[in-house]
Amino acid sequence: MKKGDDTKIKILDKGFELASKLGLECLSIGTLATATDMSKSGLFGHFHSKENLQLNVMEHAGEIFNQDVIAPALKAPAGIPRIRKIMENWIHWTKELSGGCIFVAAAAEYSDRPGLVRDFILEQQKSWIDCLGRIAGSAVRVGDFRADTNCDLFAFELYSLILGFFLYHSSLDYPGAGDLMSQSFERLINSYKP
Amino acid sequence: MKKGDDTKIKILDKGFELASKLGLECLSIGTLATATDMSKSGLFGHFHSKENLQLNVMEHAGEIFNQDVIAPALKAPAGIPRIRKIMENWIHWTKELSGGCIFVAAAAEYSDRPGLVRDFILEQQKSWIDCLGRIAGSAVRVGDFRADTNCDLFAFELYSLILGFFLYHSSLDYPGAGDLMSQSFERLINSYKP
């Protein structure tokens, strides 16, 4: 890796942290310059515009999500073990971020702001929802889930539980959020078993 | 109602609209003065501080939520009909707001900002979650749900589905979000039947 790449990754890590905490819209070349102690003109050389900076930060977040949540889960055996691993990694990812999941927050923040940032978020979320559906499909193939499983429905229900957990745990500090999440997750898995 | 009350309600309605769209933190006496075409000093006379304005707007949103979502549902027969009515009103409430549910957004926004606003949000959310649990309890009493129903778990699962629907419908414009929501809701209700 070249030195320039290394510097850019450090900047993107900081941008990712800021956007998670303050919201993507608060991320600008100015706020990032202050946070990284770099000059605005230096950062401008890397990113050229606020929109391009936001896009780069979201792409960077997408790469970390693939690397931390998806890739390790795909090494687990297909079926329920893989679904458990996805869930475990996803919960860990959410807990690590001070402002909750950056994709969910940015999807709400940009729901009425058409442009490249929104396009990227929609594409990333669609691809993640498709991935959850395919993982349910592989559970059907190995016989862990019934043959008539609606994989899109499973993906929706799994994603919903994670959102419930974000709200209860991260936003509300609700006692026993983890326990409610685990019980609901087991009920969901059981409801699709043959 | 006195004229002053009427004016204050109009201001609070506008504040509620702004906070839903831009986030509660963006709501200040200055932004509200611009939006209502009133003087900052006039608004200052009503609210005295930004925090107090935010608190008044959240209390106002809480009253509208009670009036539009909770009160009409409590008129439906206890049990599954009441749960269906709650869900219907709640979905309607979310669809009406341009930025999604103000309580969920503000809970995330204020998760690491202690103070009166966060205290109010936590209290409002706790009371809403308790209400969902009590509605499940009344479904147990009339025999619509099994006697061993964990009412807190039902509340968590119901809230999670609404959050999934917010994300798919409002943030992602996902085709078939309403259909996925309905199917999941029926599966949830059925899973608690005797």
| 3-state helix/strand/coil string of A42-110 | HHHHHHCCHHHHHHHHHHHHHHHHHHHHHHHHHCCCCCHHHHHHHHHHHHHHHHHCCCCCHHHHHHHHC
- In chain A, whose CA is at the least distance from the CA of B158? A164
Question: Rg of chain A's alpha carbons, rounded to an integer?
Answer: 19
Residues of chain A with a CB closer than 8 angstroms to some CB in chain B: 23, 98-100, 104-105, 107-108, 111-112, 122, 125-126, 129, 150, 152-153, 156-157, 159-161, 163-168, 170-174, 176, 180-181, 183-184, 187, 191
Of B126, B164, B191, the CB nearest to A156: B164
Cβ atoms within 10 Å of A42's Cβ, excluding its own: 13
Predicted local distance difference test score (pLDDT) of residue A129 = 96
Contacts within 8 Å (CB) and 24+ apart, A63-69: A64/A16, A65/A93, A65/A103, A65/A128, A68/A92, A68/A93, A69/A93
pLDDT digits (tens, 9 = 90+) for B24-78: 888 889 989 998 999 999 888 889 999 999 999 999 999 999 999 999 999 999 9
Of A98, A164, A170, the CB nearest to B156: A164
User: Measured between alpha carbons, how far is A19 from B37 in angstroms, rounded to an integer?
Assistant: 32
- The interface predicted TM-score (ipTM) is 0.92
Query: How does DSSP classify residue A112?
Result: T
Query: Is pLDDT above 60 for B1?
Result: no
- In chain B, whose CA is at the least distance from the CA of A179? B153
H/E element, A40? helix A40-47
Q: Domain extents for chain B?
A: 55-191
Query: Is pLDDT above 90 for A89?
Result: yes
User: Measured between alpha carbons, how far is A154 from A158 in angstroms, rounded to an integer?
Assistant: 6
pLDDT digits (tens, 9 = 90+) for B101-146: 888 888 888 888 899 999 999 999 999 999 999 999 999 999 999 9
Name the average pLDDT for chain B: 91
Residue B176 contacts residue B192 (beta carbons within 8 Å): no
User: Measured between alpha carbons, how far is B34 from B43 in angstroms, rounded to an integer?
Assistant: 11
Residue A99 contacts residue B25 (beta carbons within 8 Å): no
- The top-level CATH class assigned to A3-192 is mainly alpha
pLDDT digits (tens, 9 = 90+) for A153-189: 999 999 999 999 999 998 899 999 999 999 999 999 9
Closest CA to B65 of B88, B93, B87: B93
Residue B24 contacts residue B31 (beta carbons within 8 Å): no
C-alpha distance across the termini of chain A, in Å: 49
Closest CA to A29 of A13, A5, A10, A45: A45
pLDDT band at B170 (very low <50, low <70, confident <90, very high): confident
Residue B84 contacts residue B158 (beta carbons within 8 Å): no
* Contact: B172, A104; criterion CB under 8 Å: no
Name the average pLDDT for chain A: 91
Kindly report the pTM of this predicted structure: 0.93
Residue A12 contacts residue A57 (beta carbons within 8 Å): yes
Query: How does DSSP classify residue B77?
Result: P
CATH topology of domain B55-191: Tetracycline Repressor; domain 2 (1.10.357)
Residues in chain A: 194
H/E element, A30? helix A29-36
Once rounded to an integer, what is the mean pLDDT over residues A95-112?
80
Predicted local distance difference test score (pLDDT) of residue B158 = 97
User: Measured between alpha carbons, how far is B188 from B7 in angstroms, rounded to an integer?
Assistant: 44
Residue A89's contacts (CB-CB under 8 Å, 6 or more residues apart) are A68, A69, A70, A72, A73
